[in-house]
Structure 1
Amino acid sequence: MMRKISIIASLVLGIFTLNIAQAQVTKEPWTAAELKSTEDLAKQINDPSAAQPVIINVGPQAVIKGSLDAGAAHEHGNIDQLKSILAKQDKNREVVLYCGCCPFEKCPNIRPAFTALKDQNFTKPRLLDIPKNIKTNWIDKGYPVN
């Protein structure tokens, strides 16, 4: 009986360990260097002498001043809309994607959108770092809106 319990415990522990290991190797499609802070983007938008990035919303609503709207990336056809917008852009221009519907770990839009951006071989792909949501991290701070 003890041997059966030991075997079952070993199997459960093995499965648990495997799941933890898989969770740890899950890799986001962006790097830390590809994240852009909301403060930095707001400063860039407000500085007429600064090079202006292409800013594309991949979430429910384009609220950032000057941003283009590709629509929520998880909805049918919107990745194609994003690719259509990107096809018209210089590959060496900075491209900033944002959603802001929720924190990154819950967002259904940023991963497919950022993957599509990277697949297009842009040299300066960026993801706007929105820790909570667009209201808290952009609008409430008084950053420029459409």
Structure 2
Amino acid sequence: MKYLFIIACLVCSIFSQAQQKQNPWKDSQLMDPALLASRIENQKTKDLVIISVGPEAIVKGSADIGPTHEPENLEKLRNYLKDIPKNREIVIYCGCCPFVKCPNIRPAFALLMELGFKNAKLLNLPKNIKTDWLDKNYPTND
């Protein structure tokens, strides 16, 4: 019984570490929603590309790529990024659900890293777009 408990603990530890390694972004690459909202409201987005990789482009000025867990939308993102300079600030977001469950942000962010974007950010919407953006009356596409 003791060995079974130790094995169970080891398995949990391995899965826990694997879950942590799943995120292709660093904490420093998370953008606070209040910061993005302020930049939009103060028209300081000239050198910023905002991309929705979820079901709908809600954030004002964002491009609608569609859910990037679908291969055709991931390819659409690749094509969209083709002519954007690698040092340009890019912010992606989904907001369909909590980060830990979101099927869209990991493939999209991994693609940004694969393509060599140096200033890629993920909008920090840990709960969802409603709670972390809409309920705070941040700017939206009409």
Normalising by structure 2, we get a TM-score of 0.90
* Correspondence for 1:140: 135
Output the CA distance in 2 between the equivalents of 1:136 and 1:99: 13
Match of 2:73 among 54, 78, 83: 78
Displacement of 1:49 in angstroms is 4.5
* Correspondence for 2:43: 48
Displacement of 1:22 in angstroms is 3.6
Q: Structure 2, unaligned stretches of length 5 or more?
A: none
Is it true that 1:23 corresponds to 2:16 in the alignment? yes
* Correspondence for 2:3: 10
Displacement of 1:44 in angstroms is 1.1
Displacement of 1:123 in angstroms is 1.1
Output the CA distance in 2 between the equivalents of 1:50 and 1:72: 23
Displacement of 1:12 in angstroms is 4.6
The CA RMSD over aligned residues, in Å, is 1.6
- 1:41-88 residue CA offsets vs partner (Å, 9 max, x unmatched): 111111224544100000010011110011001123110001111112
- Give the paired residue count: 139
* Correspondence for 1:115: 110
Output the CA distance in 2 between the equivalents of 1:51 and 1:93: 10
Q: Structure 1, unaligned stretches of length 5 or more?
A: 1-7
Identity %: 45
Report which stretch shifted further, 8-17 or 124-133: 8-17
AA aligned to 1:65 is K
SS in 1 for 2:71: coil
Output the CA distance in 1 between the equivalents of 2:79 and 2:93: 17
Q: Is the 8 A contact 1:29 1:111 kept in 2?
A: yes
After superposing on structure 2, the runs of 4+ consecutive aligned residues of structure 1 that deviate more than 3 Å are: 49-52
- 1:67-119 residue CA offsets vs partner (Å, 9 max, x unmatched): 00110011231100011111121111100000000110010111111001111
